[in-house]
Structures are given as C-alpha cells and as structure tokens.
Chains A and B, each alone.
Chain A
C-alpha cells in the first residue's frame, strides 16, 4: 500500500498527522506531508486507512498494490 496527499485539496485540518503520526507530519503552515516515499508498512495499513477516511477534504489517497 502507498499513501499520498493531494496538495491541491489539503487545507491543513491535520487529521492525518493526528491519526497516523508514523506516516504523516505537518509542515510549517500546518499542511499535511507524507513521511518518506509513502510506502505503508503492513502494520500501519489500518492507520493509513483511518487517515484517508477521516480527511475532511479527501486529500489523503491510498493506492493498494497487487
């Protein structure tokens, strides 16, 4: 699984870095950023889904591989 944030949609609500701090961080203006290259380790898949499902702007996008 991979995760990315669409910067056109992100408004800095911060749900992703609250719910999945292992996958996301905030920048200096509070917008969400994906840590590393966006690859989600299997144990973090639940957190990634929570982040995507709770983003009010639907800016967090998941890509399931395989």
Chain B
C-alpha cells in the first residue's frame, strides 16, 4: 500500500470542517413544557426519560421544541417505525441532533457512512461492513471477550463495592472494538474521551466542538498511517483496501466509517450491559431467577434491550410537509426514540414492566429498516457474555447506593456510575 496518498491532512481537511452548514442558537436550561420545549440534554431526561415519554405519548405524541433550531419527538411505535422506514422524507445525513446541521450536499454519504448515508450510497457502503459483523464472524471474538470479562472480575478481588459501569461494563466494548479495528488496547481511555466529546458535548461552543472532533480524526489518521505501514488482518486494513465502484474508498469514507465503528460500538454496549446489571441489582427476584435458570438469559436480554434500549437516533426533514398531524419544515430535526417506541402500550403488553420471560418481543432497540444497527450481533454477543460471566462469578449483588447511580446525557443512555455491593 506504499504510495497511498489518500490520507494526507490536506485531503481530509474539508471533512472535519464544520464551517459549511448551519448553526442554531444554543438554548439550555430547564424545560418549561415537554410537549413544546423538550430537550434530551437536560438532567431530568437523563435521570428518567420514561415517565416523560409515556406522558407525551398520551397527550402530544409528536412533541416539539424550538431548541436545536427546531425538532420533533415522536413517542408512538408506529410513528417511530414510519420515520425509520421513510428514507425519502427523512434524511440520515446527520444522526446526532445538535446545533449544527451539515449542508444538504453532504447527502447521500454523510460524515460517518453508512449510518449517515441515504440511498443509494447507503446500501453499497453498508454491504462492505456487513460480512465483518455477522453472527458467525463476531463469534470468533467470543472466547477473548469471555476471558477479558473474567479478568475484570478477577480485579475485583478483595473489594465489597465496585462500580459496575466504570470498572466492568465500559471496558468490554472498548477492548472488543479496539481488537476489531486493530488499535492498541492501551488507547482505550482515549476512546472513551472521543465518545464523550461527540455524543455528550452537543451544547459546547462550536470552536470547542470542532477541536474535539479534529482530535478524533487526528487519532484515526495516525492509525491509518500505522496500518498503511504495517497492514494486518483487521477492520482498518480492510477499509483501507476495500473498493467501491471499482475504486479504493474515498479517504473520508474510510475515516468516517472508522469513527462510526469506534463511537457507535462503545457507548451503546457499555450502556446495555450497565442497564441490565442495574436492573438485576435493584430487582432481586429477576436476579435470583436468572441465576437459577441461566437458559432464560437470551429472552431476558432481549427484554433488557427493549425496556432500556440505549440508542436514540436523529433524522433531518427533507422538505416542508404535513406529517401525521404536524407541520414539519425542511431541516427540522427528528429525535428518533427507539426507547420510546419500545414502551408503547399499543405495541407491547405490559409495556412499562420488565418481564424477563417475555417470549414475543418485537422491539426496535437496534432500529428498523435499512439502518438496522450493523453491530447488533456484536452487541448481543458482548451483552450475553458480559452477563453470563458476571452472574456466574457474582450471583448475589445489590445497589450499594441507589442515589449514587448516574446516567449519560444525550442520545445514548446508560449508567455511568453504578456502585454495586458484591461482598
């Protein structure tokens, strides 16, 4: 791969550039009415979004806010599904709702393909990634993941209280994704900073945000060069060598896809593992039953994914239109809440309850339609192994301090501090 000049700083510069596109005024502070002024970045939402969503579903199923330059929040399953399926009227060119809208010309590729891509490009870019994320392929990483989970629990030796979010859940996807991309495992702490910068720093000043984004892309570029010098059997080398339409990938597609895998692969699984352990810590009957009936884990896991779905996506409205009773304008955001859809009583019996033996569970935790989470098989493997190892090694555990649990802010929701008593 010598002489590959796609990855010079100059070639990539425009892709990190947020100067083209439009910015809206940053509005923060307490929400006055969730139906007309919602914000998923306020502490009340982070702490417990479900009562808010349940209330909105009843009285205002497509809520509105003037924050972020204008956005809508549908809470019914049928509306969330309709938007996920309608790629003509709702663009994915930015999937993190913020105060910055990338220019429409960024479609159909978007900044982090294929999650940010629309048809027809989307299909071809996604096709490149799919073979690396099938159930069969990710199963090859299962023994190493299991051994890593055991090593984390070994490190708890002598402690009565551990932070299951910080000391366990977060390390698992970081290690798995570093292995897949072929990044040094000791860079893990940096990945977590990148994730926080991109997903939680939404309301930071633009310059600050641009600097944080370029830090990530500088890191990715260094990794690309390391792989150009020493090609190896991992996803980074695969993306550098991959071809689309008879040519090597555009450098921004390579680094964009790497950014996506790094960012989307970490917070999400970390949240799913943490939320599942949180539920079991506060619900002794479910914990005891799962320990006694390990065969129930696959069903229980799907229920945790339904009830505590970590991922909310965003879309941009393409053109002014009347849609399901509201007047949407071009460039309005949609906060596409799969968690809200998953708790719609019109779609699920006992929607607000966690039923660990729920046999029929057509949840949307991994999305619906063409953007189904490409890492869903990887996420399910990580979640299953993380819970199997934990329940095997630590069958009895409780919340040490329920008031000490903290949750992430933004579109990926999961516990970030989770003190558990294990002794």
Q: How many A-B residue pairs have CB under 8 A?
A: 49
> Could you give, for residues 346-378 of chain B, a 1 whenever the CB lies within 8 Å of some chain A CB and a 0 otherwise?
000000000000011111101011101000110
Q: How far is the CA of A57 from the CA of B362 in the complex (A)?
A: 8
Q: Please determine whether B130 and A12 come into contact, CB atoms closer than 8 angstroms.
A: yes
Distance in Å: Cβ of A28 to nearest Cβ of chain B: 6
Distance in Å: Cβ of A48 to nearest Cβ of chain B: 13
Q: How far is the CA of A61 from the CA of B359 in the complex (A)?
A: 18
Q: Which of A11, A18, A29, A54 contacts B360, CB < 8 Å?
A: A54
Q: Any chain A CB within 8 A of the CB of B51?
A: no
Q: Which of A30, A50, A54, A56 contacts B135, CB < 8 Å?
A: A30
- Contact partners of B136 in chain A: CB under 8 A: 26
* B372 and chain A: residue at smallest CB distance: A11
Q: Which of A14, A18, A30, A54 contacts B362, CB < 8 Å?
A: A54
Q: Which of A12, A17, A56 contacts B364, CB < 8 Å?
A: A56
- Contact partners of A34 in chain B: CB under 8 A: none
| SS class, residues of chain B in contact with chain A | helix
Q: Any chain A CB within 8 A of the CB of B8?
A: no
Query: Chain A interface residue count: which class?
Result: 10 to 19
Q: Please determine whether B372 and A18 come into contact, CB atoms closer than 8 angstroms.
A: no
> Could you give, for residues 1-41 of chain A, a 1 whenever the CB lies within 8 Å of some chain B CB and a 0 otherwise?
00000000001111001100000001011100000000000
Q: Please determine whether B372 and A29 come into contact, CB atoms closer than 8 angstroms.
A: no
Known A-B contacts A14-B376, A56-B363; A29 and B370 likewise in contact (beta carbons under 8 Å) = no
- Contact partners of A50 in chain B: CB under 8 A: 359-360
- Contact partners of A29 in chain B: CB under 8 A: 127, 130-131, 134
Q: Please determine whether A14 and B368 come into contact, CB atoms closer than 8 angstroms.
A: no
Q: Please determine whether B359 and A14 come into contact, CB atoms closer than 8 angstroms.
A: no
Q: Any chain A CB within 8 A of the CB of B402?
A: no
The 10 closest A-B pairs by CB, nearest first: A11-B372, A29-B130, A30-B134, A53-B360, A56-B362, A30-B130, A28-B131, A14-B135, A54-B362, A26-B134
Q: List 5 A-B contacts (CB under 8 A).
A: A11-B369, A12-B372, A26-B136, A53-B362, A56-B372
